[in-house]
Chain A
């Protein structure tokens, strides 16, 4: 297993366009997180899944954002009608949750989004 992988690594898009990012977690991990990181800040939580269920969403996740994990494996994060304020690094992480405990989260390399 090569860890958490994200695609693409970089994305430049025009304002108003839709973009979609993909995350493939570590294969045995049932939990998947999305974070956003802007320059000079720590990662900010957006949402997480346990298996295919989306269990929590941050207030940062506006109506233009949607995330899916249809088969409990890979996940996609879509941003509709992108705005310049969406420019950030989008990080995916995964962990293993069982019997009320959770392991540490392992992060992917991130997708750098630039909205022009």
Chain B
């Protein structure tokens, strides 16, 4: 079955430190890939997307993600985390045909001052 796995439920980093959130997918072909961020009680905001082409994707708020076909991964990175980055992060994937985004369970980012 198609699925998206985010192995880390919580990640704690210090402000100014680098960040990497992991995402793995299980699809027959290369899916469309997304990272969304959600603040408490709010909807989801798109950070970045990968459809094809360059495997290193730049997004908003200084985030980037790298698609690695050999590892079925699409990890999210940020070189220096700000306190305002504390939120829930969701990886999602969609495949040809219906392209319905399927979400991982999310990773909660906690930022220490």
| A interface residue numbers (CB < 8 A to B) | 4, 6, 33, 35, 40-45, 48, 55-56, 91, 93, 97, 100-102, 104-110, 112
Task: Tell me, yes or no, whether B41 is within 8 Å of chain A by CB.
Answer: yes
B-side contacts of A35, CB under 8 Å: 103
C-alpha spacing A112/B41, complex, angstroms: 8
Contact between chains at B46 and A110 (CB < 8 Å): no
The CA of A110 and the CA of B40, in the complex, are separated in Å by: 11
Residue numbers of B with Cβ under 8 A of A are 4, 6, 32, 34, 36, 41-46, 49, 90, 92, 94, 96, 98-106
Contact partner, B103, options A42, A104, A109, Cβ 8 Å: A42
* Chain B residues closer than 8 Å to A42, beta-carbon distance: 4, 6, 90, 92, 103-106
Nearest residue (CB) in B for A10 is: B41
29 sampled A-B residue pairs with Cβ under 8 A: A4-B43, A6-B43, A33-B101, A35-B103, A40-B105, A42-B104, A42-B105, A43-B44, A45-B101, A48-B100, A55-B98, A56-B98, A91-B43, A93-B44, A97-B99, A100-B96, A101-B99, A102-B32, A102-B94, A102-B99, A104-B46, A104-B49, A105-B46, A105-B101, A106-B46, A107-B44, A107-B45, A108-B43, A112-B41
Residues of chain A within 8 A of B99, CB atoms compared: 97, 101-102
Q: A107 to chain B: which residues have CB within 8 Å?
A: 36, 43-45
